[in-house]
A and B are shown apart, each in its own frame.
Chain A
Amino acid sequence: MSLTNADVQKIARLARLAMSESEIAAARTQLSGIFDLIAEMQAVDTKGVTPMSHAQDVSQRLREDKVTEINQRELFQSLAPQYKGSPQVEAGLYLVPQVIE
């Protein structure tokens, strides 16, 4: 199948992956090869076949509506990434560049 550079750019943006021009070109070649592999299955007639999402035909189990988790903010926020040398948490909140709506 033929992917264009623009196709690759669009996918990269959807997946939040920064890619340079040359990276896009390289990805295009490799992805095209992989899609050729995948294309084999498209010709198969699957009319009337039920898609298989899970190995066993089991139903979702329901959990009792109880609070079971305790506050572990300190432990979890010790994992927060750093930016310019300081951990990106303040007043118990995670910090990210401002989002403008």
Chain B
Amino acid sequence: MLNSSLAQLGAALRAGKISSVELSQIYLDRIAALNPTLNAYVTTNSETSLAQARQADLLLANGKAQPLTGIPIAQKDIFCAKGWRTTCGSKMLENFIAPYDAHVIERFNNAGAVNLGKTNMDEFAMGSSNETSYFGTVKNPWDKHAVPGGSSGGSACAVAARMCAAATGTDTGGSIRQPAALCGISGIKPTYGTVSRYGMIAFASSLDQAGAMARSAEDLALLLNVMTGFDARDSTSLQRDKENYSRDLSKPLAGLRIGLPKEFFAAGLAQDVAGCVNAAIAEYKKLGSTIVDISLPNSRLAVPVYYVLAPAEASSNLSRYDGVRYGYRAPEYSDLTEMYEKSRAQGFGEEVKRRIMIGTYVLSHGYYDAYYLQAQKIRRLIAQDFDYAFKQCDVIMGPTSPSTAFNLGEKGDDPVQMYLSDIYTIAVNLAGLPGMSIPAGFGSNGRPVGLQIIGNYFAEALMLNVAHQYQLATDHHDRSPQNIGL
């Protein structure tokens, strides 16, 4: 059961071979057993989950099931779910019970899926290792000394450790793809605007995008079918015809042109990662693809540009956390200013405060042109690089992360080192393009390696096809961690 695909689970549920209550209980038991070690979940509520499962079982019995009806999904704790504690990994929202459902949550509810619980994450989605969470670090299920990646570390861990059938994540600079790579699972961040951000706690509004994390491209397609679609409450939500993301999975890859940016294979890339990625490319050649050498000349600036724009937007988005209407308020203060300053200083962790400061600075009087405006201009150049590249190839590939999972605490002192682990993923968010990571083998220390696939705008169906064909020919994605937590 735990290694079944979503399609197989769906079939079993509809055939009555297992009930949603039984399936959900299996996962809840597994969470009870493993979460104390792995810390993938911040909140579970078995009563609520099982009540939802019972509803799903009714739908299944009445023949009213949809593909995900009855299937237990883990939700990144960044999505407001009505009646559920929603913390965003922060002390600031430690006791915040969301009074409404995010659009993504509504879609899963309407599809009959079961909310299995809220997964751990870097605080306010700021981080690449899930070490900034107020609720403790998440362990990589392949090696408990390693980080799972971030910010969707809890979701990645939960999928890899079979603590859920699938999970949602969000990706602002790589926060789905990088943890997917480090945890040996598949993850996709679709084109900006295809999934509504209403109810998804904001970090950097023009970069944030919700996406799916699961064990195969096939599964990701089913999840995207539920998650995507127009929402009138999000002004950046795009109005497009409904797509079936599974439609092209079986297409043969003959003639596919794969672009390899030379900048993604330069200094800084670990040898063992390069080895796995090159092997994956060789496999793609066997499947009929041709390789095209391309260049993304401005991608070297993606990290500095990101660390101007994302903190700038975040510094403003996080101003609402002031202890007035909800969230953490300091226990002692003498006046309003002190109330603000202490509530925020005590409620936010170090990384969040750092980014708020950076953002405040780059927007401040006299610096806007040199930093913010300049960054938006280079962003345009980066997007143009991709535009040009996609005239020469159909998809772009490379390593998702420059190394396999690093150890917990290894990058603690120097934030810049941490920032550089997003070097291959960030440019994709700046351009608003879709990006994926799929398992491509294991590094020298047995830790997973991810292959990144980048598509042109709205090319998710092609990307899933490209991933799926590889997953038919290989078995990296079928592997699961043994002796979890030991």
Contact = CB atoms under 8 A, between A and B. Distances in A.
A82 B377 CA distance: 45
Interface in B222-255: 232, 235-236, 238-239
B326 A34 contact: no
Nearest to A16: B340
A19 interface: yes
A46 interface: yes
Interface stretch (B19-27, B44-52, B118-126, B349-357): B349-357
A7 B376 CA distance: 24
Interface string B426-441: 0000011100000000
A11 B381 CA distance: 30
Measured as residues with beta carbon below 8 angstroms from the partner, the interface class of chain B is 35 or more
A23 B339 CA distance: 18
Contact of A96 (B232, B339, B360, B377): B339
Contacts of A36: 416
B328 A97 contact: no
B265 interface: no
B189 interface: no
Interface string A38-62: 1111101010011111111010110
Contacts of A50: 377, 380
Nearest to A13: B341
B388 interface: no
B383 A52 contact: yes
B317 to A, nearest CB: 12
B323 interface: yes
Contacts of B371: 38, 42
B3 to A, nearest CB: 37
Contacts of B433: 55
Interface string A1-44: 00000011001111111110000000100110111111111101
Contact of A55 (B192, B325, B370): B192
A61 B379 CA distance: 24
B378 A44 contact: yes
Contacts of A55: 191-193, 206, 383, 431-433, 457
A96 B348 CA distance: 20
Contact of A33 (B236, B356, B378, B414): B414
A79 interface: yes
A14 B433 CA distance: 34
A55 B361 CA distance: 24
Contacts of A76: 99, 325-326
Contacts of A88: 324, 329
Nearest to B346: A18
Measured as residues with beta carbon below 8 angstroms from the partner, the interface class of chain A is 35 or more
Contacts of B327: 81
A35 B377 CA distance: 18
Contacts of A27: 353-354, 357
B325 A38 contact: no
A60 to B, nearest CB: 6
B380 A52 contact: yes
A82 B324 CA distance: 9
Nearest to B338: A18
Contacts of B353: 17, 27
A79 B96 contact: yes
Nearest to B327: A81
Contacts of A75: 99
A18 B357 contact: no
A79 B326 contact: yes
B326 A17 contact: no
Nearest to B98: A79
A41 B99 contact: no
A91 interface: no
B373 A51 contact: yes
B344 interface: yes
B204 to A, nearest CB: 12
Interface stretch (B108-116, B298-306, B447-455): B298-306
The 6 closest A-B pairs by CB, nearest first: A55-B432, A51-B376, A81-B329, A18-B341, A46-B377, A52-B380
Interface of A: 7-8, 11-19, 27, 30-31, 33-42, 44, 46, 49-56, 58, 60-61, 63, 72, 75-76, 78-84, 88, 94, 96-99
Interface of B: 96-97, 99, 191-193, 206, 232, 235-236, 238-239, 301, 303-305, 307-308, 315, 319, 322-329, 331, 333-342, 344-345, 348, 353-354, 356-358, 360-362, 364, 370-371, 373-381, 383, 414-416, 419, 431-433, 457
Given A11-B364, A81-B323, 4 more contacts: A34-B354, A53-B376, A58-B193, A79-B97
9 contacts: A11-B361, A12-B357, A17-B356, A17-B357, A41-B308, A55-B457, A56-B193, A97-B336, A97-B339
